[in-house]
Amino acid sequence: MEGWIALYIFMLAAFTGIEVIRRVPAILHTPLMSGSNFIHGIVVVGGMVVLGMADTTAEIVVGFIAVFLGAGNAVGGYVVTERMLEMFKSSDKNKKE
């Protein structure tokens, strides 16, 4: 990929990341950390691509590990975040009562 375009993408993504969470209340810091942990689980896609290209045993083994770890990141990150947010929902209800 053209280096400058990549640099622009990185720059814009960095500002997006900062803006998106800038005014988050402390109460959401942990769920947010967990949520962003889930989002970088997208690395599983990269793992699938390299495993899909792998030919030698070494490449296949390492590629398999990449997919395995990436999928664990995505799924585990999702479930942990979901469980945290479940609790906030119940507390909202209590507040209304």
* Binding residues for other proteins restricted to 11-50, rule: CB under 8 A: 13-18, 20-24, 26-50
Query: Is residue 3 close enough to count as binding other proteins by CB under 8 A?
Result: yes
Cβ atoms of 79 and 38 within 8 Å: the answer is no
Q: Which of residues 53-92 bind other proteins (CB under 8 A)?
A: 53-56, 58-60, 62-92
Query: Is residue 8 close enough to count as binding other proteins by CB under 8 A?
Result: no
| Shortest spacing between CB 61 and other proteins, in angstroms | 9
Nearest to 35 by CA among 67, 83, 92, 87: 83
Cβ atoms of 72 and 42 within 8 Å: the answer is no
| Shortest spacing between CB 58 and other proteins, in angstroms | 6
| Shortest spacing between CB 57 and other proteins, in angstroms | 11
Q: Which residues contact 80 (CB under 8 A, 6 or more apart)?
A: 34, 37, 38
